[in-house]
Amino acid sequence: MTTQQNATQIINEIKESAQDQKITAREQMEALNPEAKNLQFWIRTQKNAPAQEPWFSAAGANDTGKLASGQVGKNQLKALPYRWRWSDYRPYLEKISQIAAHADVAPVEFADRQSIVLMNPGLTDRIQVTNTIRCSISIYNPGDIAPAHVHSPNASRTILTDNGGYTNIEGERCEARRGDVILTPNGTWHDHGNDGEEPVIWIDTLDWPLMEYLDCAWVDQDFQGAFNTTDRTQPVRHVDGYSQKLYSNGGLRPTFVSHQRGFSQRLTPLFHYAGTDIRDTLLELKDEAGDPFEGIHMELVNPVTGESVFPTLRYGAQLLRPHEATQLKRETSSQYLVVLEGEGYTEVNGQKLDWKPNDVIAVPNFLWRRHVNTSDKDAILYSVSDAALMKNIGQYRAQGKDRDGKVIQIEV
C-alpha cells in the first residue's frame, strides 16, 4: 500500500469513527496526537494567543491576559505580583551563616554560593522573580571567598549591609557598601569575598533565565587553567574607585583608555555605582517636579553610550517624597524593586504590597502599578527591569493614567 493510500485509509477510518461516535473535528485531530508525539511533532488543535485581546486595549486594573491551554500553553507562565519580606528571609540567611561557620565544607564551596534564591509563585518551581530575571540573596561570612569565574549572563550585586565585602572585576577591586550596585557584565572575570569581621549580605541579579531560554547560559570556573596560576582570585591591577575615577564625572569621557572590558560588547565599563552617589543625586533633585509615575527617578547608564548598563537589563533608583503617591503606570517590561529606605506600599493589579527596608517586590509586565510613601521621610527604591531588552527588540511600550483616570501613552 502506498503512503497516499495509507493516509486515505486512515482518514476514512477517522470519518467513520467520527460519524459513529459523533465527535468533533478537533477531537478527531486530537486523537492523532498520541501517535504524533512519538514522532516529535504535534497536530495543532488550539489557538496560540496567550491574551485574546491586546493587553493595552483594556483600561481596567485587573486585566492580566489569558493563558492558552494544553500544548500551546505548556510554556506560557505568568509571573505574579509578590513581596519577599526582609523579616521572613533574613532568619534563613542567619541559619545559613551559622551552618557555614561550623561546617567541614562551607556551602560556598559545594553550592558556589551561600544564598537563598527567590521564586515567583506564578512561575511554578522556576528560580526566577520574573520571566527574564533571577534574583538571589547571598550571605558571606568573614573569610569567605567565591573564586574567580566568568559567565554569559549579565549580573550585579546590590549591597544590603553597611559593610558589603568586595568584588574584583577584571582586576578592579570594588569595596562594597550599603546601597552600592556593582556590575559584573558577561564576559568579565570576577570573584567575591568578605575580608571584614561581620557577615555581609547582598542581592545577586542575573538575566540567567533569558540566557537559559536562548541556550547560551554557561559558566567558566577554571580561572587557574585560563591564566596558568594557582591563585583562586584575581590579582588587583586597579584599586577601589578606578572605574568611578574614569567615568563618574558627568559629561567627561577619558580618551586614553579602552572602554572594552572583558570580551563582550555594548556593556558599561563602569562597574561600581556608589550608593552614596545615587542617594546624594536623588536628594539634590527632590525639589524638582519629578515624574508623576515614578517620582524622582534616575537610570544607571553606560557612561560611554548613555544607554542602559546592559542590553538586557535596566537599573534604576527613585525617591518618593513623604506621603507621595505616584499615578498608575504599566509597561511591557517586568521588574523587581528593593527598598533601600522608607516605608510604604506598591499597588500592583489592585493588590497592595506594603514594604520596608530590604523588602523585595516583583512587578510583572502589563500590570497597572503605583507606589505610595506612607511615612514622613523620603523613601528610596532600586529597580531592575528587562525594559532594555524590550526596547532593543522593539517591544517596549508604556501607558499611564492621568488624574482623571484616562489612559495615556507615555513617550519613551
Residue 1: which pLDDT band, with cuts at 50, 70 and 90? Answer: low
pTM, to two decimals: 0.88
Distance from CA of residue 397 to its chain's centroid? 18
Tell me which of 64 and 235 has the higher pLDDT.
Answer: 235
Given this model, what pLDDT does residue 407 score? Answer: 94
Tell me which of 19 and 44 has the higher pLDDT.
Answer: 44
Residues of the chain with CATH 2.60.120.10: 82-409
Q: Is the CB of residue 399 less than 8 Å from the CB of residue 329? A: yes
The lowest-confidence range among 104-118, 234-248, 360-374 is 104-118
Given this model, what pLDDT does residue 10 score? Answer: 61
Nearest Cα to Cα of residue 254 among 263, 245, 241: 245
Given this model, what pLDDT does residue 221 score? Answer: 84
Q: Which CATH number is 82-409's, of 2.40.128.110, 3.30.565.10, 2.60.120.10, 3.40.50.10190?
A: 2.60.120.10
Residue 360: which pLDDT band, with cuts at 50, 70 and 90? Answer: very high
Q: Is the CB of residue 179 less than 8 Å from the CB of residue 202? A: no
Given this model, what pLDDT does residue 18 score? Answer: 55
- Categorise residue 251: left if φ over 0, alpha if ψ from -120 to 50, beta otherwise: left
Distance CA 5, CA 109 (A): 63
- Per the structure block, which three cell numbers stand in for 36? 504524533
Distance CA 393, CA 383 (A): 21
Report the Cα–Cα distance between both ends of the chain, in Å, rounded. 63
Residue 32: which pLDDT band, with cuts at 50, 70 and 90? Answer: confident
pLDDT per residue as tens digits for the range 113-139? 788 999 999 998 899 999 999 999 999
Tell me which of 13 and 291 has the higher pLDDT.
Answer: 291
pLDDT per residue as tens digits for the range 268-282? 999 999 999 999 999
Q: Is the CB of residue 320 less than 8 Å from the CB of residue 340? A: no
Residues whose CB falls within 8 Å of the CB of residue 412, separated by 6 or more in sequence, listed in order: 391, 396, 397, 398
The lowest-confidence range among 86-100, 194-208, 320-334 is 86-100
Mean pLDDT of the chain: 88
Distance CA 231, CA 406 (A): 61
Interior angle at CA 85, CA 80 and CA 86, nearest 5: 145
